[in-house]
Structure 1
């Protein structure tokens, strides 16, 4: 990773990027018009100013080009219990939540789990349970199938 790579994010993460830019007041801002994300830079930001538009891909994710250098983030860099809980939720989305988490830590864990599941397109445990209830039962492999004798073997 060079720091200026193009990275792809869920809408929820892109919204957080926009919120962070607003807090930073760095001369780069983001705004939404429906599903379209528009970044606007002032001349103070880069000497010229620009507008950059991002639309979601077929999975609803946003690829953000090299507008600033990205920092590498890992669980080693996570400071604070909420960052750790978020990372744990993202790294083990099908594991149960730690019952010792505070309400804020639990919310961070769920956010990490949900964003990882959305990005990787894997169901969370709750989604798996609800989907399994929708799947019709299939016959057991040893149940007789009309017209087929499973006891005889071809020689």
Structure 2
């Protein structure tokens, strides 16, 4: 607790990052005005904007690339043999037309500033499968007996959401 002269004690601010700089908790993202995702990511800032970069696993980065190509928005992306991911914007010319993202030491990709992110939630049109995946990701820290019941037949999507959240967060539990 902190105290200052003549004031009541205040609680220490809760840390939002591990000592190595890994954010504590995942968040679900979509591309603004789309029904893509949910993409399980780690925000790099407590307060993020639609242009902020977030950390994503290789599997999520691959899904982002698949959705990007499906959208035919004039932007493409490709993985190199060394894992490097290069985005190309066909609407721009010169060195600003490409952005290269190299995975960090844990294989996560810092993606942002290429389109507007939105928080994935009930306002995003989605399927039951997307909802099961999102629920699994959101409940990645719960024990089996405390997890929310999800529709039969979607267990594999729920499990994939949990796995993705564990992978991007490096399987850490919040302190």
Q: TM-score range by the shorter chain?
A: 0.5 to 0.7
For structure 1, the 5+ residue unaligned runs are 124-155
Does structure 1 residue 107 correspond to structure 2 residue 107?
Answer: no
- CA distance in 2 between counterparts of 1:99 and 1:70 reads 27
Task: Look at both structures and tell me which one has the larger radius of gyration over its CA atoms.
Answer: 1
Tell me if structure 2 keeps the 8 A contact 1:41–1:50: yes
Q: Deviations over 1:42-90 (max 9, x none)?
A: 02xx577611111000111000130111112135646321122111211
Q: How many residues matched?
A: 119
For structure 2, the 5+ residue unaligned runs are 1-47
Q: Per the alignment, do residues 108 and 62 of structure 1 end up closer, same or farther by CA in structure 2, a change over 3 Å counting?
A: same
The normalised TM-score by structure 2 is: 0.60
More helix by share: 1
Tell me if structure 2 keeps the 8 A contact 1:78–1:84: no
In the other structure, the counterpart of 1:67 is: 114
More strand by share: 2
In the other structure, the counterpart of 1:37 is: 85
The normalised TM-score by structure 1 is: 0.67
Runs of 4+ deviating beyond 6 Å: none
Q: Compute the RMSD of aligned alpha carbons.
A: 2.3
| Greater mean deviation of Cα atoms: 68-77 or 54-63 | 68-77
